[in-house]
Structure 1
C-alpha cells in the first residue's frame, strides 16, 4: 500500500492572508496541486490530509466553517478527478498541550492504524516543519514542499534529517511517479486493495 499524508496549508492551498483559512472563500488551491493529487490517485495511492487548526481552539472559526472549507477543497479536487480520502485535524490551540497537534504524532499514528501501514509505507509531504517532525515519529519518508508565500512564523530551520526538498507538490509527484508509469520510488508498485 502507498499512502501520502499531506499538510494542507502551503501544500494544497495558498496560505491565508491572516496565516490561516477561516472560510471557503479564503481557500485557494496551489497551482497544479490538485492535479498532482489526481496523479497519485490514478497510480493507486491513498491520499489523506493532516492539518493543525488552532483557530478552532482560539474561537476564530467553528467546525461548521472548517467543514465548509474542506467541502470546497473536495469539490475542487473532484473537478480534476482527484480525491482526498480523509482529513484529520487537530482542533486545539498551541497552549492546550494535546497529543494530536503536530509535531505530535497522534494523528499520523491513527492513520497508520486505520490503513494498516508501517512507517516506511508513508510519505509525509508538507510545507510545515511540524508536519515532517510528526512523520519522523512514525518512520515516514519526509518531503518538504517549499511553499512560496509561507508566513514568517513558518521556518524551515528545523527540518528533520533526511528530509527531501521540492518546490511544490507537482515536483514531488514527478519524483514519486517517474515517467508517468505509476511506479513509486521506494514503495511497492502493486495496486492497493480496497
Structure 2
C-alpha cells in the first residue's frame, strides 16, 4: 500500500467553473480542503495534484496565471501545516493528442517519476469520471467527491461497471475522514 494520494484540482480542492478558473481571484478554495490536505500530510501521506488545464491551450489564462493559482493553493495548504509533494498539469487542449490529458494516465505517471514512487494502490480523488478513469488506468484506487461536478458524475460512475464500487464522499474532508479511519 502506497502512502501517495493524488487529487484533481478544480472541483476537489477549489471551486470549479464551467467558464474555467482563469485567475488567482477566481481560484476559491472549497471550505475545509486545505486543512484536509494538511491532515493527510500530518498522517504521513504524500499529496500530489493531477489537473487538466486546457485553458492554457485555449488562451484563457497564461502560465503565470496558473503559477499564481498554484502558489495560492500551496500557501493555503502550508498555512494549515501541509504541503504538496508534486503538482502535475496538462496544458493541452482536447484535440492535442497528448498522453497527459485525463482520462489518460500520463499526469499520474509524471507524478510517479517526479516522486520516484508507484501509484499502484494509491488513491486518486476526483469529481469527474475522467479523473477516476485516469486513476484506474494507473492502478489507483479511486474515490469520487460530490463537490464540483461530482453530483453530475455520480450516475455515470454507477453506470460504469469497472468503477461503480468506488466510494462516493461529500467532499475532500469526508474523503480524508474515510482514509484515516481505514
TM-score when normalising by structure 2: 0.89
Task: Report how far residue 97 of structure 1 moved.
Answer: 1.5
Shift of 1:19: 3.5
C-alpha distance after superposition, 1:103-161 (max 9, x if no partner)? 011111222344322511x10011121111000101111100001x5399x64443223
Aligned to 2:14: 13
The counterpart of 1:165, out of the listed 151, 165, 168, is 168
Residue 3 of structure 2 is matched in structure 1 by 2
Match of 2:64 in 1: 64
The unaligned stretches of length 5 or more in structure 2 are: 158-162
* Structural mapping, 1:127-142, within 5 Å: 127-142=127-142
CA distance in 1, matches of 2:21, 2:57: 14
Secondary structure (helix, strand or coil) at the match of 2:136 reads helix
Could you tell me which residue of structure 1 aligns to residue 160 of structure 2?
Answer: none
Q: CA deviation at 1:80?
A: 1.1
- 2:107 equivalent in structure 1: 107
Contact 1:15 1:151 in 2 (8 A): no
Alpha carbons 1:112, 1:119 under 8 Å: kept: no
Using the size of structure 1 for normalisation, the TM-score is: 0.84
CA RMSD after TM alignment = 1.8
Query: CA, structure 1 residues 151+163, in 2 after alignment: closer, same or farther (shift >3 Å)?
Result: closer
Alignment check: 8 A CA contact 2:127 2:153 kept: no
Q: Which runs of 5+ in 1 are unaligned?
A: 179-184, 186-194
What is the aligned length? 175
* TM-aligned CA deviation for residue 162 of structure 1: 2.7
